[in-house]
Structure formats: structure tokens, C-alpha cells
A and B are shown apart, each in its own frame.
Chain A
Amino acid sequence: MDDEITKLCEAIAESLSRLHKGDTASALWPFIPNEAGYYTEEPFIKELSETINKLKEKKYSDNEIALLFGNSAKIAQYFTLFHGAKILALQKRIELAKDLINFLAYYRKDPFCQDKSNILLADLRIDLAKLDKSSVSIEMCNKFSALLLLYLEVLYPTMMRLGHEFHGTYSIRGKKLFIKEFFNLNPKSLNFKEPFSIGKIKIVEEVESEVKLDFFNHLFSSPKKISSYIETDGKILNKEDLKKAYEGLEGEISSIIKKILGFSRKDWFRVYARGIFQSIDHLKVELKEKNEVPSGVFERIERENFELPIKKIVEFQKTHTKEEIKEITKNSYLKIFE
């Protein structure tokens, strides 16, 4: 087995075993990703592979294609759908995985986040004076960040990395910095949604110690914060701006929640499918192609009733150690490439 592919499977297994250890299957809202994946994984992976290949045929370089994805957490997230790659011939699966690893490497110092950090290679341009001058409290920054995660949970159920990426920890002039970026805050996947007035949000935090995260950008440590500032669409927020943004977002979430409380599982599967396919909008625009969920996906959602045996999964999670779950997950991913 190729060394990169082995590292990839190891990174995926490490992340998913931490996620799955504990009673997590029954806690996932509004469904277990594999349930929606049943309808979406294969057609999406096929579309992704074909789209990348068309761009390559048009002589786009790896870096140019990577740039069209917009961020690395989204690229990593595609590997959660990779059991759908079995629809491709073995050589094509390996090719797609290697392409995605190359795209990750365009953004990340280590595509697999093996040292539990996510160091991005982009120019940071952090003005440390902004931390000292920030008028917003750490408590308010934390609340805003939590609210944004909540917002993304509603916009991108179980695929939140389509709307955010956490990166760091960076050491800059003796300070440890961790950065939370939120984007794609106005997707079309919830088609009743009014546009939210903010496009991009960046939260810069000075932290006491290293923040730990994994390949899929799950945070699993939360060190004490020393100071922080928030930038929305390039503007630094003061106390009043933040209060206004917080209240606006809170109102937005309440209104969305009222609307989605009546959603059926099938409604959610449709939202999920639209979200996944829209995540490659920029690539399709470049090819001057329409980007639509294949109608077969919606037809299957309508026709079939796929459900995972949640009780059995929870029992499995309870009776297996993290190491055992990791080994099983790793082997199931390795099998995709055999």
C-alpha cells in the first residue's frame, strides 16, 4: 500500500475513532452521516472525480484546482464520503485520493495533521496590535464563536466543515495564536433562508497552550484564552458591532430552527445532498457547467427508507475501545484501496 494512502487511512481512523468512542451515534443531529451518505456518497464522489479530471484535461495545475475548493477542511471532509469511491475503478479511487491529498498539501503544512495541529501555509498577516487593542471580551468572543458553530450545524447538518476551518496553533513573536474562520454563511441548500449580512468571519485568539485538532478539524482541547479579536469581512468588530452581530445571528438561528423543526428525515437528506453538491460550485463554474444534484439522488430519497441500526451501533461504540474502533475504521478505509 502506498505510504500516503496509509497515512491518510491512519489519520481518518484516528479522528473517527475519537468521534465514535462514546454514545455518539444517538447524539448526531439530524441523522447519522452514513444515512444521508447512502443516497449521496456514490453520485457525489463520481461527480467530484469527473470534475477534477475535466479541469486537469484543461491543464489546470493541482494548486489551481486546490484554490477552487477554498479551504482545506472541506477537502478533508470529502473523505468521510469516500466509501462511495467504490463506484470508481480501483485506479481512479487511488488517483482521486492522491489528488485530494495534493490539494490538502497546497493549504496545509501537514495534510494529515499528524501532530494534532493544522498549520496553514497561507500568509497569515496577523497584526498582533489588534489583540491588544481589541475592545471585545473573551467571554463575548466565545459566545459568538459557539453561536456560529450552532448556525453552521443548522446550515450544513453533519458537514459543518463546508462552512468553517480552525487552524493553528501558530507561534508569532512569543505569542501562541489560534484562528477560527467561518465562511459560506449563505448557502442555497436551505432554500427558504434569507441572506445573512456577514460573508466571512475570522476570530483570532491568543491562547495559553497549544490547541489540539485532528484531520477532520475536530477540536479536542480548549486551552485558556488570553485575548481575542473578531474580524467580519475585513472589519474589526468593537463591542457594539459584536453585540449587533450576535443578536442578528441569534435571531436568524431562532427563525431557522422554527422552520426546520418540522423537517422530516427525507427533507434533511435533500438539504444534505444540495449542500454537498454545492460545495463544488466553484469548480463547475470554472468548467462553465451547471451544478445540480443528479435527479436520481432525490428519487432514491423519495423511494427508499434506509435506516442504520442505531441501537446496535451505540452498543458497538460502548463495548469497543477507541483503539479497537480505530483499527476497524482504518481497515475499512484501507479496503477501499485494495
Chain B
Amino acid sequence: MAMKTFKGVVANPGKYVGRIKKLESMDDIEKINEKDILVTKYNSPLFSLAFMKAAAIISEVGGSLCHLAIVSRELNKPCILGVENAFEIFKDGMLVELDATNNKIIILEDG
């Protein structure tokens, strides 16, 4: 079966394989752990704060100079932004390869 791949705008390169954790509200920050790939729909300091904890990030919005992008470079964590419908596509627990060096996100396991 062909693997589904997605792309967006690379904010910081790097490759990471991990499980998806979607972030919707302040309460979700507690659920984030350092191995997670965070998926967000919006940009706000709330998501940046969660990103401090996670291993990598995917966001539906954002370009290479937006705040999440700058924070990703400071932290040197793989980050792809502007991924259309990311919040709908990626589900909690999915195993994903985030290859921000080649602008590719591959779903490895549905979770």
C-alpha cells in the first residue's frame, strides 16, 4: 500500500519519528511529552509553550518567519508549517515520520 505523504513550509530541518499529539487548549499541555510530534491548528504562545516540551511540530498555519518557525530554529527541532488540513489528517497516537529536511511527512501507522 502506498504511504500517504504530506508537505508544507520547512521552518527548521531535521528528521524525527514519533507519535502525534494534537493540541487544542491549555489543558492539553499537560498531555504533551518530550517524544511527541505536536500538531496545531493555530499559532499562539500556548502552542509555542507546548512545543518547548515536544520533539517536533506540524502546524496548519505559518511561514518561515512566523513565531513557531523562529522558536523551532532556536530549539533546533524539526518543524513543518502550513500543512493544509493537518489537524484533520493527523490523529492522536498516529506514528509519523516527519522529515523536515526533505519537506515530507509520512504516516507510518494509523495508531
Q: Does A257 have its Cβ within 8 Å of any Cβ on chain B? A: yes
Please indicate which of the listed interface residues B43, B45, B68 has the most CB atoms of chain A within 10 Å of its own CB: B45
Q: Does A33 have its Cβ within 8 Å of any Cβ on chain B? A: no
A29 engages B42 (CB within 8 Å): yes
Q: Which of B48, B59, B81 contacts A150 (CB 8 A)?
A: B48
A residues within 8 A CB of B49?
150, 250, 253-254, 257
Please indicate which of the listed interface residues B42, B68, B73 has the most CB atoms of chain A within 10 Å of its own CB: B73
Q: For the complex formed, measure the closest distance between the CB of B46 and the CB atoms of chain A, giving whole angstroms.
A: 6
B residues within 8 A CB of A22?
9, 62-64, 66, 81-82
Residues A220-258 near B (CB distance < 8 A): 220, 222, 250, 253-254, 257-258
A28 engages B43 (CB within 8 Å): yes
Complex Cα–Cα for A251 and B65 (A): 26
B52 engages A149 (CB within 8 Å): no
A24 engages B65 (CB within 8 Å): yes
Stretch at the interface among A91-99, A127-135, A139-147, A185-193: A139-147
B residues within 8 A CB of A27?
42-43, 59, 61-63, 66-68, 81-82
Q: A22-B82, A219-B70 given as contacts; is B62 within 8 A of A153 (CB)?
A: no
Q: Does B76 have its Cβ within 8 Å of any Cβ on chain A? A: yes
Complex Cα–Cα for A23 and B73 (A): 18
Q: Does B74 have its Cβ within 8 Å of any Cβ on chain A? A: yes
Q: For the complex formed, measure the closest distance between the CB of A91 and the CB atoms of chain B, giving whole angstroms.
A: 34
Q: Which of B62, B74, B81, B82 contacts A146 (CB 8 A)?
A: B74
The 9 A-B residue pairs whose C-beta atoms are closest, nearest first, are A22-B63, A146-B74, A24-B63, A27-B61, A222-B73, A27-B62, A27-B43, A27-B66, A23-B82
Q: Which residues of A line the B interface, CB within 8 A? A: 18-24, 26-30, 142-143, 145-147, 149-150, 153-154, 218-220, 222, 250, 253-254, 257-258, 261, 317
Interchain residue pairs with CB less than 8 A apart (11): A20-B63, A23-B81, A24-B65, A27-B43, A27-B62, A28-B66, A29-B43, A29-B45, A218-B65, A257-B26, A257-B46
